[in-house]
């Protein structure tokens, strides 16, 4: 299994709920692992946060300055 997949699964196992939803009192399963600083090569654990698809899409859209678009960044290669 590629290193990113192992790390992603580890983050989701350690913290299975969306961090942003939890801040608002909602219990939503996390399905994505996001790089907080937006740098896809920064895989330090403290830079990774679990998010639901909705929160991840909103954050990514804001980061890319496309408020109405859902954009995905490529995942880092091993």
Task: Domain count for the chain, please give it.
Answer: 1
Structure tokens at 36: 């907080």
CA angle 16, 18, 24 (to 5 degrees): 135
CA 27/CA 17 separation, integer angstroms: 6
Residue 37 covered by a domain = yes
Residue 25 covered by a domain = yes
Q: Is the pTM of this model over 0.75?
A: yes
Residue 73 covered by a domain = no
Q: Which residue range is the domain that position 22 belongs to?
A: 3-60
Residue 7: exposure state from Cβ atoms within 10 A (0-12, 13-18, ≥19): middle
Residue 71 covered by a domain = no
Residue 31 covered by a domain = yes
Q: Three-state SS for 39?
A: coil
The reported pLDDT for the residue numbered 66 is: 59
In tens, the pLDDT along 6-50 reads 999 999 999 999 999 999 999 999 999 999 998 889 999 999 999
The reported pLDDT for the residue numbered 48 is: 98
């Amino acid at each position: 299994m590629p290193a990113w997949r192992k790390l992603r699964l580890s983050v989701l196992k350690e913290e299975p709920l969306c961090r942003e939803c939890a801040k608002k009192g909602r219990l939503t399963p996390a399905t994505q692992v996001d790089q907080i600083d937006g740098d896809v090569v920064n895989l330090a654990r403290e830079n990774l946060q679990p998010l639901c698809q909705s929160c991840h899409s909103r954050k990514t859209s804001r980061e890319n300055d496309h408020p109405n678009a859902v954009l995905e960044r490529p995942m880092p290669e091993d």
